[in-house]
């Protein structure tokens, strides 16, 4: 079935609409993989429910003729505080995979965090991108390989390395297992190809009682973050922080930013919504490093709430994958356009004209 045209995409009004549209372009197993989460998916639901519980407290009679969503981060300028979260296997939802996503990010002037589990190599992604990518890794059991991979990403122009720290072992993923999800033939972890097909094309989840994945080091500790920091000439972020103590340790290890995340509810079930974990972390960090957040962002209002609770920027995951499935690059661009526009509307209606004005004062 032909993907949606730019004209058709213009009539998509919300990110949630992309989810229902996308299902026509995805196999049931791929949809189960993307939509699903860990265990009973309580955290998946809570990521949304927690945003919905927050009430805004707007101010009126503020001149909002000019609304500025510009973010200054790491010495660079971002047009708006929304990034595309790292997600593996884009060829599951579009035949050109991450190349199509990069084109969408280009159209939207969005920064994409490329996943280590991309189905197109980081060099090809960087070459197609008009702005520097960030590169996300899981530290591999083979630290030499991990170092070489980071060097490849840096050589290709990536300007930040994001280490995801919340998946030392597999969590149960009932929905994708029930749907029989496997990486289809031809969908491989391109960045891992030199490790051989036993790893690059390994079944997504080991069977039976094996809780360890060949693609994630289970022995990763703060020592590895120290090691990476010592050798890294670019910004280092940790993704998957939920505890203020870990935020403190991340800063001690010299990390440049923290991403408060529960992996979209895909790792440890029944942890709090990331938006509910954010205030304690923001309080502990107290502005020493930027704090970003992902998990459950579906509306510009959610972006506003995250900033009000102390984030400088957010990342979106599933919605842009659905948009990629339904509309390719133009779909990704449309999804970002919806979010950006909604954020500006929320700022105007709440009486804020710049991101640094968005504080707890605007929440009840
Ligand atoms: C299909 C899929 C694949 C993902 N793959 C990765 C990954 O490779 N690395 C990573 O750090 N996070 C991964 N994530 C988690 C996202 O980066 C992000 O934390 C999460 O999707 C945010 O929640 P949201 O989907 O509600 O926006 C993945 C998420 C999804 C939905």
The answer for residues whose C-beta is within 8 angstroms of residue 349's C-beta and 6 or more apart is 58
Q: In whole numbers, what is the pLDDT of the chain averaged over residues?
A: 96
Using CB distances shorter than 6 Å, the residues near ligand 1 are 34, 47, 85-88, 115, 117, 136, 164, 239, 261, 263-264, 266, 294-297, 316-318, 321
What pLDDT digit, counting tens, does each position of 49-68 carry? 999 999 999 999 999 999 99
pLDDT of the residue at 26: 97
pLDDT on residue 314: 99
Strands (E), 61-214: 71-73, 76-78, 82-84, 113-115, 134-137, 160-164
Query: Which of ligand 1's atoms lies nearest the C-alpha of 265?
Result: 23
Does 203 have pLDDT greater than 90? no
Residue 44 is predicted with a pLDDT of 98
In this structure, the strands spanning 313-316 and 235-241 are: unpaired
Collect all residues with Cβ–Cβ distance below 8 Å to 251 and sequence separation of at least 6: 258, 285, 288, 289
Cα(286)–Cα(140) distance, integer angstroms: 32
pLDDT given at position 210: 85
**What's the gap in Å between 264 CA and the centre of ligand 1?**
6
pLDDT of residue 112: 98
Q: What is the pLDDT of residue 198?
A: 78
Name the residue of 38, 86, 136, 278 whose CB sits within 8 Å of the most ligand 1 atoms, as the mutation to test its pocket: 86
CA of 349 to the centre of ligand 1 (A): 31
pLDDT-derived band at 297 (thresholds 50, 70, 90) equals very high
pLDDT(259) > 90 = yes
Which residues neighbour 278 within 8 Å (Cβ) at sequence distance 6 or greater? 260, 291, 293, 306, 309, 310, 311
Ramachandran sector of residue 160 (left: φ over 0; alpha: ψ -120 to 50; beta: rest)? beta
- Residue 145, pLDDT > 90, answer yes
CA of 266 from ligand 1 middle (Å) equals 8
Q: What is the pLDDT of residue 206?
A: 67
- Tell me, what's the pLDDT at 13? 98
Per-residue confidence band for 92, with pLDDT thresholds at 50, 70 and 90: very high
204 pLDDT above the threshold of 70: no
Task: Compute the distance between CA of residue 174 and CA of residue 39 in angstroms, rounded to an integer.
Answer: 6
Choosing from 89, 122, 188, 263 the residue with most ligand 1 atoms within 8 A of its CB, the one to mutate for a pocket test is 263
Q: What pLDDT, on a 0 to 100 scale, did the predictor assign at position 109?
A: 97
pLDDT at 41: 98
Percent of the chain with pLDDT over 90: 92
67 and 80 Cβ atoms separated by less than 8 Å: no
| Tens digit of each residue's pLDDT (9 = 90 or more) over 174-199 | 999 999 999 999 899 999 999 888 78
Dump pLDDT digits (tens) for 158-179: 999 999 999 999 989 999 999 9
- Decide: 305 and 47 in contact? Cβ < 8 Å: no
Closest ligand 1 atom, CA of 296?
A: 26
Residue 204 appears among annotated catalytic residues: no
**Region 337-350 average pLDDT:** 98
Reduced to 3 states (helix: H, G, I; strand: E, B; else coil), residue 275 is helix
Say what the pTM is.
0.98
Res 156 pLDDT > 90 = yes
Nearest alpha carbon, ligand 1 atom 3: 87
Give yes or no for residue 342 having a pLDDT over 80.
yes
Tens of pLDDT, residues 318-334: 999 999 999 999 999 99
Q: Is the pLDDT of residue 89 over 80?
A: yes
CA-proximal residue: ligand 1, atom 4 (nearest): 87
Exactly one of 90, 94, 204, 263 is catalytic; name it.
263
Q: Which CATH class is domain 6-362?
A: alpha beta
Which residue shows structure tokens 């995801």?
164
pLDDT of residue 213: 86
Contact 322, 18 (CB under 8 A): yes
- Say what the pLDDT of residue 174 is: 92
């Amino acid at each position: 079935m032909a993907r949606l045209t730019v004209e058709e995409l213009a009539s998509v009004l919300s990110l949630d609409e992309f989810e229902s549209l996308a299902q026509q372009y995805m196999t049931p197993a791929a949809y189960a993989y993307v939509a699903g989460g860990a265990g009973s998916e309580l955290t998946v639901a809570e990521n949304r429910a927690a945003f919905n519980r927050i009430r805004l407290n707007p101010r009126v009679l503020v001149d909002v003729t000019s609304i500025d969503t510009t973010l200054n981060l790491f010495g660079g300028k971002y047009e708006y505080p929304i990034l595309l979260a790292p997600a593996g296997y884009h060829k599951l939802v579009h035949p050109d995979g991450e190349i199509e996503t990069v084109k969408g990010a280009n159209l939207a002037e969005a920064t994409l965090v490329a996943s280590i589990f991309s189905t197109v190599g980081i060099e090809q992604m960087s070459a197609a991108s008009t702005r520097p990518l960030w590169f996300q890794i899981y530290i591999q059991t083979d630290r030499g390989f991990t170092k070489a991979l980071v060097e490849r990403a840096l050589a290709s122009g990536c300007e930040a390395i994001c280490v995801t720290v919340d998946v030392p072992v597999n969590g149960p993923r009932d929905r994708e297992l029930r749907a029989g999800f496997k990486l289809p033939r031809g969908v491989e972890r391109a960045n891992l190809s030199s490790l051989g097909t036993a790893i690059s094309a390994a079944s997504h989840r080991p069977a039976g009682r094996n809780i360890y994945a060949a693609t994630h080091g289970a022995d990763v500790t703060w020592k590895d973050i120290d090691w990476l920091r010592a050798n890294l000439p670019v910004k280092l972020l940790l993704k998957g922080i939920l505890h203020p103590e870990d935020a403190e340790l991340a800063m001690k290890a010299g990390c440049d930013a923290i991403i408060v995340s529960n992996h979209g509810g895909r790792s440890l079930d029944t942890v709090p919504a990331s938006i509910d974990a954010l205030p304690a972390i923001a309080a502990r960090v107290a502005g020493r490093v930027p704090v970003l957040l992902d998990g459950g962002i579906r509306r510009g209002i959610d972006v506003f709430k995250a900033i009000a609770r102390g984030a400088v920027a957010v990342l979106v995951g599933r919605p842009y994958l659905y948009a990629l499935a339904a509309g390719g690059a133009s779909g990704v661009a449309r999804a970002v356009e919806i979010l950006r526009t909604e954020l500006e509307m929320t700022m105007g209606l709440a009486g804020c004209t710049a991101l640094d004005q968005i504080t707890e004062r605007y929440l009840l």
